[in-house]
Each structure stands twice: as structure tokens, then as C-alpha cells.
Amino acid sequence: MLSGNSRGGLMLVVFAALPAAAVADGSVVDKVYHPYVEQLEWELEWRAVQEQNSPASAAQRQATHRVGLGRAVSEFVFAEAYLVGREGSDSGFTIDAWELEALWQLSEQGEFLLDYGLLFELEKYRHEEIWEYSTTLLLERELGRFSATANLGVIYEWGDDIEDEFETAAALQARYRHSPLLEPALELYLGEDTRALGPMLLGMARLGSRQALRWEAGVVWGLDATTADYTLRAVLEYEF
């Protein structure tokens, strides 16, 4: 856990880096992360994103699936490893990448005006020399039954099969905590080739002591010509 001064300095470093980077190309529609870690928790996760008529890939349909296993390694750090599979309207399903991520909770929930966290992700394509590393600042603010979340990321891509470059990505979520089973939300995604907005439904069903199933599903629509017409997004998480 960081002190207030360290956290302020860290935020300045992240924000100072943002304007210097280009904005992320390709779709940046994915899960919106919250800056919290639940100690002792294990998680089995599947999530999928399917773009329809994406100008970036020139495919009518392109889907990305992630299957991950994660656990809280301390009170404030959660680590997860994924296998990433992709398929398109003109290509079959292949597992073509692996990904490691670590989420670091920086403040106690509700302690300050904003709750802070950092997300570190490293992805490597299996059959191509492409690496991708990102650092994302996670911010959340509770306003009564509403929660507003922002993910502000700086991404670096490098390797023999890709042009080395910095990019940025942003995801914003406004969520209404109606009930554990049903929380409506609105999400906005911004990247170089992404301007997308749409509704989501989130929920959680308790399966027993220390067991729960969380789910998210929704669609975001492209707001400009460089974004897929619409993108379906779904998450299933089994927590134990």
C-alpha cells in the first residue's frame, strides 16, 4: 500500500506519460477493471469480445476469447495468467497468445476521494514476435448506489513482427448497484481506432460459502468509421 505522497507522485508519472503516447490502435473494448483485491480469492475466468464489421481487421466478424486462472497473492495484489484464442469469419479458432497480469490495489476502498489501483499486463503472441506491455491506472468513485470507474492505460508494443510504438487506451464505466444479481452499466471505450459506447449488464450469484459466479454481458456500438459497427462483450468469473 502506498502512502499519500507516493500515490500522488505515481499518478503524476502516469498522467505525464499519457499525452506523449499515441492512442491505441485496434479495438480496446475489453473488461473494465476495478481497483480492488479480495484476499485469499481464487478466480477462474472466461471472457470474450466479438467485433462485427471491424475496419481494423477487415473481417466481418472477429472474436477474442480469454481463459484465465488467478489468485490473490497478498492483501493488495492479484495475479492472473491467461491463454488467448482468436477466431474470425475467415479464420478458425487458434490459441495464439498468452498473457500475464497483476492488479495492485493502492488504497482502501472509500478511504480517499478516489480509490486507486494499477494494472500491469504482458502479452506475447505464440507464433509471431509480438510483445505487448501495458500499465493501466484504475480509478473508482462511489456515489450512493452509483459507481464510476476509469481505466487509463499506456501500452507499448514491440517485436520483429510489429512496429514498436506507444499507445494509450481509456475505458469508462458508470454502474448502478441495483441488486447483486443485476447491475446496469454504461461503458465508453476510447483508442486510436476505437470510439465505442454501449450498455452492459453485470451481476453476481452466490453459490455457497466463498463461492460466487460473476457475469457481465453487453454491446457497445462504434461511434465513428474506424470502430467496429458493434462489439459484443461477455465475462464469466467463478470465484472461490
Q: How far is the CB of 109 from another protein (least distance, A)?
A: 6
Long-range contacts of 83-89 (CB under 8 A, 24+ apart): 84/123, 86/62, 87/62, 87/63, 88/57, 88/59, 88/61, 88/62, 88/63, 89/59, 89/60, 89/61, 89/62
Instruction: List binders of another protein among 40-99 (CB under 8 A).
Output: 40, 75
Q: Which are the contacts of 144, defined by CB distance < 8 A and separation ≥ 6?
A: none
C-alpha cell at 188: 465508453
CB of 159 to another protein, least distance (A): 33
Which residue in the set 27, 54, 64, 147 belongs to the binding site for another protein (CB under 8 A)?
Answer: 147
User: What's the half-sphere exposure (Cβ side, CA atoms, 13 Å) at 176?
Assistant: 7
Q: Which of residues 161-180 bind another protein (CB under 8 A)?
A: 177, 179-180
Q: Which is nearer to another protein, 113 or 225 (CB)?
A: 113
Query: Segment near another protein (CB under 8 A), from 43-51, 85-93, 110-118, 152-160?
Result: 110-118
Instruction: State the number of binding residues for another protein (CB under 8 A).
Output: 27
Report the residue from 109, 126, 128, 161 that binds another protein according to the rule CB under 8 A. 109
Nearer to another protein, 107 or 194 (CB): 107
* Interacting residue with another protein among 14, 23, 36, 176 (CB under 8 A): 36
- Of 10 and 172, the one with the shorter C-beta distance to another protein is 10
89 vs 139: CA distance, rounded Å? 36
Taking the complex as a whole, how short is the minimal distance between the CB of residue 151 and another protein, in angstroms?
19
SS (H, E, C) 45-111: EEEEEEEEEECCCCEEEEEEEEEEEEEECCCCEEEEEEEEEEEECCEEEEEEEEEEEEEEECCCCCC
20 sits near another protein (criterion: CB under 8 A): no
**Taking CB under 8 A as the criterion, which residues in 123-142 touch another protein?**
142
The nearest distance, CB 179 to another protein, in angstroms, is 8
- Please check whether residue 191 is in contact with residue 168, taking contact to mean a CB–CB distance below 8 angstroms: yes
Selected range binding another protein among 5-13, 45-53, 123-131, 152-160, rule: CB under 8 A: 5-13
Which residues here bind another protein, judged by CB under 8 A? 3-5, 7-9, 11-12, 16, 36, 38-40, 75, 108-113, 142, 147, 177, 179-180, 209-210
